[in-house]
Amino acid sequence: MAEILSSGEALERALALLRAGDVVAIPTETVYGLAGDATNGIGVARIFEAKGRPRFNPLIAHVADMAMAERLALFDPLSTKLALAFWPGPLTLVLPQRPGNGIHPLVTAGLDTIALRMPKGFGGDLIARLGRPLAAPSANSSGRISATTAQAVAADLGARIKLVVDGGATPVGLESTIVKAEEGRVRLLRPGGIAAEEIEAAIGMELLRGGAAGVEAPGML
């Protein structure tokens, strides 16, 4: 069974596992995430294996700061405005990948875009110490409800992972909102922790809804 450590004592253990190409369940402000080094194919493959997640379903890459985000993706003015308004926080931006960004292809499921988010708290600190982005879908078996406590993660995935970091109940309690800027407009791909009205107020225009062809971003299944 997975070891459960409080967020105050888990940082070094989590770093050691991630550097070895393993996965760690971590608290974020949205739900608990199952994190692996997004540049390490073994670590990313272990995320899919532990969750039973189909590999055509992309993952969100989590970053520590804007400098890291801009090394991974090409930002347009609207996306930059959204990042400055809502990061760190429960908003994911789908952006064109920057060539040679080092992200393992499994993370993006063969798409030419990448989904990025900047988490608060333990996740942000962990990424900053690791110095590399973390791929981190929700820490639950695919098809199950996302976990909002360490105990729920351990009950579901405890036999398949080595560490659950306990940061208490997650404050938002549902997944991040996912949006994509295109042709001067912003399209809502998945509702979540930030209301559409907040995003519309920040950009001064209505969000586009619907019209997506296939899986464009994590969580669209």
- Phi then psi for 180, rounded to 5 degrees? -140, 125
Structural domain span for residue 150: 3-72+88-172
Rounded to 5 degrees, φ, ψ at 16 are -60, -45
Token code pair at residue 44: 């990313």
Distance separating alpha carbons of residues 36 and 53, to the nearest angstrom: 14
In a 3-state reduction of DSSP, which class is residue 198? helix
Within-domain flag for 205? no
Distances (CA, A) of 137 to 74, 96, 103, 116, 122: 22, 20, 15, 12, 16
- 166 occurs within a structural domain: yes
Distances (CA, A) of 100 to 71, 94, 97, 103, 124: 9, 17, 9, 8, 23
Q: One digit per residue, pLDDT tens: the chain, 221 residues? A: 999 999 999 999 999 999 999 999 999 999 999 999 999 999 999 999 999 999 889 999 999 999 999 999 999 999 999 999 999 999 999 999 999 999 999 999 999 999 999 999 999 999 999 999 999 999 999 989 999 999 999 999 999 999 999 999 999 999 999 999 999 999 999 999 999 999 999 999 999 987 556 666 666 55
Q: How many whole angstroms separate alpha carbon 87 and alpha carbon 73?
A: 15
**pTM of the complete model beyond 0.85:** yes
In a domain, 218, yes or no: no
Domain assignment of residue 220, yes or no: no
| C-beta of residue 146 within 8 angstroms of C-beta of residue 218 | no
155, part of any domain:
yes
**Distance between CA 219 and CA 14 in Å, rounded?**
25
Count up the domains in the chain and report the number.
1
